[in-house]
């Protein structure tokens, strides 16, 4: 059964309408051509794969900040947080996670705390791999006060293909590390803003696992990590 569970994983409920639509289109295509039908089957299976929601084992300890998304660490750079969160203009340590169309797109809470502000910002749909996507693309930004009083922010950013951001968070909501809170459809990015003194425990190019990879540890004096391609 454990081996089967690694292949068959739960599907996020937001995906079922799309899977059903893909299946109906596949049936219609198959009525015209077997080749088109097989193309539809492949696309339907991809849709199922895209909306998968696998279980994760989340590290639980005060001071840990966990990746809210699966994907590649594309940038680690100082940057001011989104203005709609009212966190000031001083640069924070921004860790950007780029999600391609094959990554799990279910997003998770990076740390225990209380949501002090959740703000949607309309915008463009440029490629999420661009640095300016943080400023000009459609996004859903969240300001979180951790249990020890520290503040961080995490932002869902729509990409070139992504046209729908889903978030269940509201102002004043208490949240737990690793808890599911949303999803971005079809390619996107998630930015995490940490205090400027934070030492990232990930490196550019590394693959992060949402709900599992530790981005930073405020209880540790470990310096920022240096990576080497192999």
- List active site positions: 188
Q: How far apart are CA 118 and CA 171, in angstroms?
A: 6
Cβ contact 195:55 at 8 Å: no
What is the secondary structure of 34-69 as a DSSP string? HHHHHHHHHHHHHHHHHTB---------TTEEE-SS
E-strand stretches of the chain: 64-66, 71-79, 92-99, 106-108, 113-121, 139-146, 151-158, 165-167, 174-175, 180-184, 188-194, 207-208, 214-217
* Dihedral pair phi/psi, residue 25, rounded to 5°: -60, -40
Q: In terms of C-beta density within 10 A (0-12 exposed, 13-18 middle, 19 or more buried), how is residue 134 classed?
A: buried
Q: Pairing relation of β-strands 113-121 and 214-217?
A: unpaired
In this structure, how many other beta carbons lie within 10 angstroms of the beta carbon of residue 126? 17
**Rounded alpha-carbon distances, angstroms, from residue 46 to 19, 129, 197, 225:** 9, 22, 41, 35
**Number of H helices and number of E strands within the chain?**
4, 13
């Amino acid at each position: 059964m454990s081996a089967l569970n690694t292949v068959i994983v739960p599907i996020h409920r937001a995906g079922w309408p799309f899977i059903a639509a893909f299946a109906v289109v596949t049936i219609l295509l198959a009525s015209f051509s077997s080749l088109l039908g097989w193309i539809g089957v492949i696309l339907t299976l991809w849709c199922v794969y895209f909306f998968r929601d696998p279980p994760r084992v989340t590290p639980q300890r005060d001071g840990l900040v966990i990746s809210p998304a699966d994907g590649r660490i594309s940038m680690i750079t100082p940057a001011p947080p989104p203005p709609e969160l009212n966190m000031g203009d001083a640069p924070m340590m921004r860790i950007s996670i780029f999600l391609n169309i094959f990554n799990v797109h279910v997003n998770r809470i990076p740390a225990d705390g209380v949501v002090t502000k959740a703000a949607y910002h309309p915008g463009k749909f440029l490629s999420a791999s661009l640095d300016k996507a943080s400023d000009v693309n459609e996004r859903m930004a969240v300001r979180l006060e951790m249990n020890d009083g520290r503040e961080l922010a995490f932002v869902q950013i729509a990409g070139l293909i992504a046209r729908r951001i889903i978030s269940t968070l509201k102002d004043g909501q208490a949240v737990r590390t690793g808890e599911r809170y949303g999803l971005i459809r079809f390619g996107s990015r998630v930015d995490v803003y940490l205090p400027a003194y934070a030492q990232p425990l990930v490196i550019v190019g590394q693959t992060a696992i949402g709900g599992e990879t530790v981005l930073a540890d405020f209880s540790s004096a470990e310096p920022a990590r240096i990576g080497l391609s192999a």
